[in-house]
Amino acid sequence: MTALFETIMAGGPIRHGAYIDGRWVPLEGAMLPIVNPATEQAVGEIAVGSAADVDRAVAAARAAFPAYAALSAGERATYLDRIRALVLERAEEFAQAISREMGAAISYARNAQVPLAAEHLRVARDLLADYPFLSMHGTTAISREPIGVCALITPWNWPLYQITAKVAPALAAGCTIVLKPSELSPLSALLFAQAIHDAGLPPGVFNLVNGTGPEVGEAMAAHPGVDMISITGSNRAGVLVAQAAAPTVKRVTQELGGKSPNVLLPDADFARVVPLGVMTAFRNVGQSCSAPTRMLVPRSRLDEVERLAAETADAIVVGDPREEGTALGPLANRAQFDRVQEMIRVGIDEGAKLLCGGLGRPQGLAHGFFARPTIFSEVTTSMRIAQEEIFGPVLCILPYDGVDEAVDIANDTQYGLGGHVQGTDLAQARAVALRIRTGQVHINHPAWDPNAPFGGYKRSGNGREYGEHGLGEFLETKSILGFD
């Protein structure tokens, strides 16, 4: 057990809220409480930084960039391998911290949040074995070079996973980093910084500054010493970051909101895909930007779908995230709990058919940010619950008459992050998948692929993460004519 983990679990104040130039740095800013969403009680507090702290972190990253960028791909791969090994070695520490800071059921933290995060490190390491950083096209050389200092802003819903999704390709590319994790879930980020330190990454290559979006996030986005900023968060936050970054013309990549469709074609195996669709929408308590929260079903099968969906939701165990039998813990924070309650009320007021769940906490839970798994049916695209990202365990069932109408409904949103298609006729499922305007589509609930590019159309963002495409976001392209 690391000393940092013992400090976190003790629940005392953490003044060392920044890791800059290879060492922990005390911050003089305000102390923010870290609230366990299952109890609504503070389990510690952490100091947050300022624009001056961002200046120090950027200066460290700029100073470290030339030497780190000059390392061979093999040397960078070795660092990634060390970091991954430490994340896996300390997996239980990460899982406990994630469950404590944002309420993930401990089984989900152990089986998804931590191991999937480690996969991003593995993929980035493996890509370095043969990535074409220099390629020839006739006598012209195409050089892919690290973009420079990268500012990374990560969210509270997948705190470690989203960190590694950005940090791993940035390090693989040869970039140096300033990370701002969510101030609502900073504990796993501190543990990750300790793993970076213990892996022996050169000072200044990775820096972390805890803080709020308006203070630290905006300073990072506007900083002239930052070459690129990558944010995963709300649309509002993404817009503010892009606006702050515009005067310095830095690269901006954004992975933002979603309202993903799940199209059940008439020939789908409904007994299989309806329960899977409900559980996929509700994974991580519905707090995933790509969650398929709109289930599109043939009108002739609506009664059957409603029965299967309600039976699945009613069987979900919501409760103490520390208990192994819990499927869904609480929502991650008070603001999200209030948002989910508001949108459930909106759905009721709009006249959607409430199949299960509804307002308030599940029976037997008097405190904590717990929400009832809720399903609405007979939803139309004009309803707010069909258009707005709710970010909780709320599923909308929308009936359709014909496949063309299903595609129209699927695309009738400002978002375009993820999508699902279910059908026995694979040719038809493929054809529908190609017509859905989203950055990623899953056919028949396939296994997760950490190499599959992830990102959005429309207001779901710009750029791609994961695998080779994610690595490419951190590289500049230089052509050298007459090289050969």
| Residues with catalytic roles | 255, 289
Residue 361 CB partners (closer than 8 Å, separation 6+): 368, 370, 371, 372
DSSP H helices, 90-225, are 91-102, 106-108, 114-127, 159-173, 187-198, 218-222
106 burial type by CB count under 10 A (0-12 exposed, 13-18 middle, 19+ buried): buried
Alpha-carbon gap, residue 87 to 160, rounded angstroms: 10
Within the chain, how many helices (H) and strands (E) appear? Answer: 17, 21
CA count, 13 A, side-chain hemisphere, 335: 4
Indicate the helix (H) or strand (E) that contains 240: helix 235-245
Alpha-carbon gap, residue 30 to 27, rounded angstroms: 8
Residue 240 CB partners (closer than 8 Å, separation 6+): 213, 217, 218, 221
Contact 173, 201 (CB under 8 A): no
Sheet strands side by side (includes 31-36): 13-14, 41-47, 31-36
As given in the structure block, the two tokens for residue 15 are 């003044």
Residue 258 CB partners (closer than 8 Å, separation 6+): 289, 290, 291, 389, 415, 416, 417, 418, 456, 460
